[in-house]
Amino acid sequence: MLEGVERLVDLIGPRQSAMSGASLEEMAAAVQRGDVDTLASTQGHFAATARDGKTVRLARTMALPLRYFVAKMFHGPFLVVSDRIDSLYDWCTSQKIGWQFDPLYTRMIPAHYLVEIDQIGCPDPSPRYTRFFTPPVGVASPDIDAAGAAYVDAAYTALKRWMSNVPAGEPIALAYSGGIDSTSVLLLALKALKDLGRDTGLLRAFTLDLGGGKDAAQAEQMIKELGIESQWEVIRATEKDVNLEDAIATIEDYHPLDVECAAVALCLLRGIREKYPEIKFLVDGDGGDENLKSYPLEDSDLTISSVLRNPMLYQEGWGVDAIKHSLTYTGGLSRSYVRTYAPAQRYGFSAFSPYADRASIEAAVAIPFDQILNGSTERLYTLKAEVVQAGVAAVTGLSMPTPEKRRFQDGVGGDTYRTWRVSKAWCRQVFLRQWEGRLREAWDPQGDRVSGNDISLPFPIAR
């Protein structure tokens, strides 16, 4: 391996959102030296990559995806880093080594871990994982009012911190279904604006209606009860506007529920962008279901025992050491948050959910679910509404209705949703087909390509 060659190519750079406890530069320096204590002491979101000699370190939180690909150039490994698979591929093709690329060879950094990779040649070393977020499990009071107050207060604090970084006078959009999470975020956002001394009219809620869905009617009822009809708008589209293949290309994933969610999110955000090109900031309630384990177990291979024995299951999946852990995608919301991130990025929004913040996750993990549920699945299904309603009352003084829970795509699609629901097999086939053409061109023996052993091309020298 050639010495003195800079083998880290960071296409995205360090990023942060609503971060406190360290500056972006301090956080990046902590990643470089592997200082998990400093990373743990921050709030908000960050993602960063840094090199320390032959070791590259990467870390991220939930809302900022981070990926890498190990390319072979100049007799050694080059670690290429970005937030998207296609960005990694584009860099490889620009270096004439696109023929080395496979989207399934890219690796997603799992949220809440510091990942270390030694660049020591072939064979590639296995990455090392160190947690920097270790919330105490089940230590809070089983009292619903107390649990709700702690959980929603953590979300409010995160949201207020994010809003304080939004330039004064900037309008803010809210993706609003009228459900528990989005309604609670609406109420918290209005309070945050008021507490920051800003005009509450800067917030505008948007509900997608594909025709026949229940979300629009539910949202209208909630908005009327709150008396803010002037700050609410329906974005109308049709089922023909739901482009699942486009959603797969956007999120670069093939999990069907996330694909469907992203497809309708693209409809909503496209509609907002066309009508309001000036809006740059977006809030939503993504992560609320994961925090309070509010998913029907009968739709999966999970049992209440598996959910309760793995406190971060819905946020992180089974864990980096588990057989079910996917290196390409990690697990849980760590993987699926791209359904929010990628559509927002595509349409130029800076998006934030207070329920994806580590403080909110920590408050949720502290709830003693075992003690409260006592083995009852039915109790699990009613718990989220009680916790959030109690928390909103404690933080805002308002009594929030708790409407029926529905998935985003079901709520906006109604009866039409049945006509465009898809399987994982179909989504995966589309994903692979989308990459087939690119990879065929990159593999063309007559194309513009070079060997990884070619040292005739100029390359950067390490400092």
Domains in the chain, please, with CATH?
8-133 (no CATH), 144-427 (3.40.50.620)
3-state secondary structure of 140: coil
Rounded Cα gap, residues 121 and 111, in angstroms:
27
Q: How far apart are CA 287 and CA 14, in angstroms?
A: 23
CB distance 372 to 177 below 8 Å: no
CA–CA dist 385, 200 (Å, integer): 26
C-alpha distances out from residue 221 to 141, 286, 403, Å:
34, 21, 10
What's the CA gap between 53 and 31, in Å, rounded?
13
Per-residue pLDDT of the chain (463 residues; tens, 9 = 90+): 445 457 899 999 999 999 999 999 999 999 999 999 999 999 999 999 999 998 999 999 999 999 999 998 876 788 999 999 999 999 999 989 999 999 999 999 999 999 999 987 766 778 999 999 999 999 999 999 999 999 999 999 999 999 999 999 999 999 999 999 999 999 999 999 999 999 999 999 999 998 877 888 889 999 998 899 999 999 999 989 999 999 999 999 999 999 999 999 999 999 999 999 999 999 999 999 999 999 988 878 889 999 999 999 999 999 998 888 888 999 999 999 999 999 999 999 999 999 999 999 999 999 999 999 999 999 999 999 999 999 999 999 999 988 777 666 766 776 677 777 889 999 999 999 999 988 988 887 777 777 766 666 555 544 3
What's this model's pTM, rounded to 2 decimal places?
0.93
Q: Which residues pair with 326 in a beta bridge?
A: 330
